[in-house]
Amino acid sequence: MTIDASTQPERVPVSDDRFPAALRGFGPIGIVAILVILAGNFLVSPLSAVLVLVWVAWSRTPWREIGFVRPASWVRTVATGIVFGGVFKLLMKMIVMPLLGADPVNHAYHYLAGNRAALPGMILALIVVAGFGEETVFRGYLFERFGKLFGSSMWAKVIIVLITAFWFGALHYSVQGLAGAEQAVITGMVFGAIFAVTGRIWMVMVAHAAFDLVALAIIYYDVETAVAHLVFR
């Protein structure tokens, strides 16, 4: 009996998938990749997010695994994110943070009050670094990595939301103090919960950017105290 080689499936060399598989795993190469990605922002923001995109491509990880799923409607997604993020920030400023005893003035960024020269750069930073960068890392990448470790059960997702939220909050402590860390933990839990349920990151990115842009507007127009005292005087 003869076998026609042309009818046999083409075999891809095993070695072709070794490096991508190693990047996806938690061996030496995978751990080095994680450390390099997380260290990126210590050099320049949002380098970590850019490295995540490189990791996805090189590791052959499906984009949907980090939430990069095309929405049914970009207009609805962006509009929902803007409204949700803006309202969320106002509720945090007017109700949640006063209940936590936070100073109504964000002293770390109070220099932005009336600072027209700093406004364009800060707007760009909030959209690119916060909206795109932080969400790509903390919701997209870390959810994918922890998901591989803990699984996809409801309790696993709860644990991942909590870990990433408190990690997110800890990174805000050095600049914004306890109040900033508390706010970051809460926003991390809310944005993380949305991402855990939907598996889609675009609305969360827009909401994060809108949240921070409303915060910037409140600071720029120097109405932090007035807004913080709208409910609790």
pLDDT level of residue 169 (50, 70, 90 thresholds): very high
Cis status of the peptide bond prior to 98, with omega within 30 of 0: no
Task: Tell whether the model's pLDDT for residue 134 goes beyond 70.
Answer: yes
Mean pLDDT of 103-115: 94
On average, the pLDDT of the chain sits at 92
Residue 17 confidence (pLDDT): 87
Task: Tell whether the model's pLDDT for residue 76 goes beyond 50.
Answer: yes
With a pLDDT cut of 70, the percent of the chain lying above it is: 93
Residue 1 confidence (pLDDT): 47
Question: What's the distance, CA 128 to chain centroid?
Answer: 11
DSSP line for 196-209:
HHH---HHHHHHHH
- Tell me how far CA of residue 89 lies from CA of 6, 186, 211, in angstroms: 63, 11, 5
More confident residue, 12 or 187: 187
Task: Tell whether the model's pLDDT for residue 29 goes beyond 50.
Answer: yes
Cis status of the peptide bond prior to 46, with omega within 30 of 0: yes
* Tokens representing residue 160 in the block: 């991942």
pLDDT level of residue 185 (50, 70, 90 thresholds): very high
Task: Tell whether the model's pLDDT for residue 13 goes beyond 90.
Answer: no
Residue 3 confidence (pLDDT): 47
202-220 vs 154-198: helix axis angle to the nearest 10? 70
Question: What's the distance, CA 152 to chain centroid?
Answer: 19
* Tokens representing residue 169 in the block: 């909050």
pLDDT level of residue 4 (50, 70, 90 thresholds): low
Task: Tell whether the model's pLDDT for residue 63 goes beyond 50.
Answer: yes
- Distance (Å, whole) CA 168 – CA 159: 14
Task: Tell whether the model's pLDDT for residue 224 goes beyond 90.
Answer: yes
Q: Which single residue is written with the structure tokens 């050099």?
A: 43
**148: exposed, middle or buried (C-beta count within 10 Å: 0-12, 13-18, 19+)?**
middle
- Distance (Å, whole) CA 66 – CA 135: 10
Three-class DSSP category at 104: coil
Q: Which residues contact 134 (CB under 8 A, 6 or more apart)?
A: 46, 49, 168, 208
